[in-house]
Amino acid sequence: MSGALAGYFFNHKIEHTWIYDQTVFQEAVKKIYGSNFMFTREPIFMVVSTTQEEPKDLKKVLVDDGKIRDPSCPCTNCQRMIEALKPKKDEEVTEEEGAGGSDIQ
């Protein structure tokens, strides 16, 4: 999913749902490209634009390194990350707890 923009930039589109930690993602991209990249946030994708052609498939490199996750991947590592992101039953805020304001009328 990468393509050249006017012969100068290579754009790698990564779905937001694949990025489980923005800081980890940014550090991984910085390690690969140094300062030679730019992020663009789109409604569905985070676009990484760079003038470097390598790696051809940035998404695969980041998944293999465990920096992003594939929600459809059945492997234990991806599924464990998905489970860790799900809200815990005891952490859910109920309507009575959530309001928590004073009863001033």
Residue 79 placed within a domain? yes
The answer to the question of residue 33 being in a domain is yes
Asked if residue 15 is part of any domain, the answer here is: yes
Rounded CA-CA distance 12/2 in Å is 5
- In percent, the amount of the chain with pLDDT more than 90 equals 28
Give the pLDDT confidence score for residue 1 in this predicted structure.
Answer: 47
Is the residue at 103 inside a domain?
A: no
* 96 in a structural domain: no
Whole-prediction pTM value? 0.64
- Could you tell me the residue range of the domain that residue 42 belongs to? 2-88
- Hey, what amino acid is at 35? S
Indicate the residue type of 16: H
- CA-to-CA distance for 26 and 4, rounded, in angstroms? 21
101 part of a folded domain: no
Question: Within a domain: residue 95?
Answer: no
Domain count, the chain: 1
Tokens of 21: 């930690």
pLDDT reported for residue 54? 87
In a domain, 27, yes or no: yes
pLDDT over threshold 90, residue 14: yes
